[in-house]
Amino acid sequence: MNDILTIDALINDLAKYGNRVAIEDGTKKLTFSELLAKVASRAAYLLQKGLSSDDRLGIALRDDSDMMLMLLAAGYAGIPVVPINWRLSPSAQVELAERFGIKIIIGVRPT
């Protein structure tokens, strides 16, 4: 089996499909080129916040393109991710962060 990371596959596809739509989420559309630029920008943001491969990033986002971008950005930066149910209360999210050693949580406020 050929082991390839998701981010490597994205970069490989960029060469082939650069201007084709990679993500369509409601009214949002991103080409492969735009997707890679956003992923790289968010990865840089995570690194600027002091995250590294030794840390854990909590992601408490809805199942949409923003979550996909953040998952890819974390992978691009080499940062492990702990998925968190975005519907949990802030106190429950903090409890999970403490239990699993999550340094930062990126998320939305529960409705």
**Per-residue H/E/C for the chain:** CCCCCHHHHHHHHHHHHCCCEEEEECCEEEEHHHHHHHHHHHHHHHHHCCCCCCCCEEEECCCCHHHHHHHHHHHHHCCCEEECCCCCCHHHHHHHHHHHCCCEEEECCCC
Q: Residue 9: which pLDDT band, with cuts at 50, 70 and 90?
A: confident
**Look-up of token digits 């996909």:** 68
Residue 5: pLDDT band with limits 50, 70, 90: low
pTM, 2 dp: 0.85
Say yes or no to pLDDT of 2 above 60: no
* pLDDT grade for 13, boundaries at 50, 70 and 90: confident
